Amino acid sequence: MYALIDGNNFYVSCERVFRPSLQGRPVIVLSNNDGCAIARSNEAKALGIRMGAPWHEIRHMEQSHGLVALSANFALYGDLSDRMMSLAAGLGPHQEIYSIDESFVDLTGVPGNLVERGRKIRERILQWVGIPCCIGIARTKTLAKLANHVAKTAERKPGSYPEHLAQICNLEALGSDELEDVFRRTQVQEVWGIGPRIGLQLINEGIQTVYDLVQIDGATVKRGWSVMLERTVRELKGMPCIELDHSPPPKQQIASTRSFGRTVTGFTDLEEAVTEFASRTAQKLRGQHSFCAQVMVFIRTSPFRKDPQYSRSIVVPLRRPTADSASITQGALQGLKAIFREGFNYAKAGVMLLDLQPDDQLQMELTLEDEEDSGRSRVRLMSALDAVNERYGRGTLTLGSAGVRGARRSWTMKQERRTPRYTTHVGEMLEVRA
């Protein structure tokens, strides 16, 4: 048995914790560069604002409907997520943190009424953190996701599902007639693992609801689509195929990419940006105790503009696997030189680290003694760099080619509506006056 617990409209709920006046109003959170909507309150959903809607297309609703749009404040969301997750872990013995707002909990062996237990945890998260959650409970992870969808939709749209399934939904507790009713009311595109493409194909084949989908036998699904969809169908039939990942394996690639606040044309701007992206990836790499053997760098123009288009990437092999910011940055800049072309309006760039391996399983090589010493001192230098940036904030210490804070850096992202980092930045804490 699994539970899936997630925060409702998570980013918006985080903003409302510190600004209760946003309750009951249509609120959205925008992506980096204030580009498009990535979280919507129920009221914003009711206005017909789609996930990913470009801000410039819906901006007029500020005036007409009192829409509130905020820039993404990931420092705040990450911190509230940690608090929510530690309380959600109380549901059962093992937890898998699946995303910033969702976790699966293995309920095997948990005694008593699971719905009651869920309700207590939900109340605690609401009271202690301030985030409203919904919980889905079922025999497989895919069904737990489905149950969670039912719990949320029943709460938000009365009449869509039986009322008693709102907020906390345990599919295992339903009779077969009621379960069939839930399956008939749920469209295939709502299923975890079925995206817009496959969803459309299924509908064209006359398979509209989860009920239709579970009528098909596995072999037909595999032949007509893929082993992935077959697995999903088996899970919907109650056969567990996806296990809980309670200690997620180290990442196989690490990326840092950004769209620019405005387009840039010069090599120097790209050099600064790529230096920063490379440094960030290197820091993440050290965080999971890995080395990388290859660095990928890409630059591209905006496909949304009518400008001449250019998009290229290149993979640069490193001389030896490393987690040193300078070596990784050097590789990335070397790649950038190779792919840069004059005369384009660049809108985005990024660095990805590939071919990752644990940093304690390095292939040894013959080195001169002083080189080995300098290798060790580089490791200490990187530890010191990370420690200083951890203590005093990201960007306190950077490589020279990253450019100087507050100087040009014309490429940095636009965030015109960000709320304070209430819980992670001393200078931005809430002040309460008597």
Partner DNA sequence: TCTGGGGTCCTAGGACCC
Is 290 a binder of DNA (CB under 7 A)? no
Q: By rule CB under 7 A, what count of residues binds DNA?
A: 47
Distance (Å, rounded) from C-alpha 405 to C-alpha 370?
35
Site string for DNA, 133-172 (x = CB under 7 A): ------------x---------------------------
Q: Note the residue count of the chain.
A: 434
d(CA 371, CA 361): 19
CA dihedral for 358, 363, 367, 369, sign (positive or negative): positive
How far apart are CB 218 and DNA at their closest, in Å? 13
Which residues from 12-51 bind DNA, rule CB under 7 A? Answer: 31-33, 35-36, 38
Query: Should residue 253 be labelled a site residue for DNA when binding is judged by CB under 7 A?
Result: yes
Is 297 a binder of DNA (CB under 7 A)? no
- What is the C-alpha to C-alpha distance for residues 219 and 257, in angstroms, rounded to an integer? 41
Strands (E), 241-310: 254-264, 290-301
- Choosing from 125, 171, 182, 194, the residue that interacts with DNA (CB under 7 A) is 194
Nearest distance from residue 113's CB to DNA, in Å? 27
Judge whether 291 and 322 are in contact, CB under 8 Å: yes
Helix axes 267-287, 325-339, angle to 10 degrees: 140
Task: Name the residue nearer to DNA (CB basis): 117 or 198.
Answer: 198
SS3 assignment, position 310: coil
Give the span between the Cα atoms of 98 and 239, in whole angstroms. Answer: 21
Stretch that binds DNA, among 77-85, 233-241, 253-261, 419-427 (CB under 7 A): 253-261
Between residues 255 and 397, which has the closer beta carbon with respect to DNA?
255
Please list every residue from 304 through 323 that binds DNA, using CB under 7 A: 304-305
User: Smallest gap, in angstroms, from Cβ of residue 8 to DNA?
Assistant: 12
For residues 353-412, which are near DNA according to CB under 7 A?
Answer: none
Q: Name the token pair of 76.
A: 């705040």
The least CB distance from residue 332 to DNA, in Å, is: 14
Assess 223 for contact with DNA (CB under 7 A): no
Of 113, 226, 374, 377, the one binding DNA by CB under 7 A: 226
List strand residue ranges (DSSP E) for 8-123, in order: 27-30, 37-40, 68-71, 94-99, 102-106
Q: Which residue has the tokens 């719905």?
A: 115
Q: Whose structure tokens read 């040009």?
A: 408
Binding residue for DNA, selected from 8, 9, 153, 256, defined by CB under 7 A: 256
Among 18, 98, 267, 310, binds DNA (CB under 7 A): 98
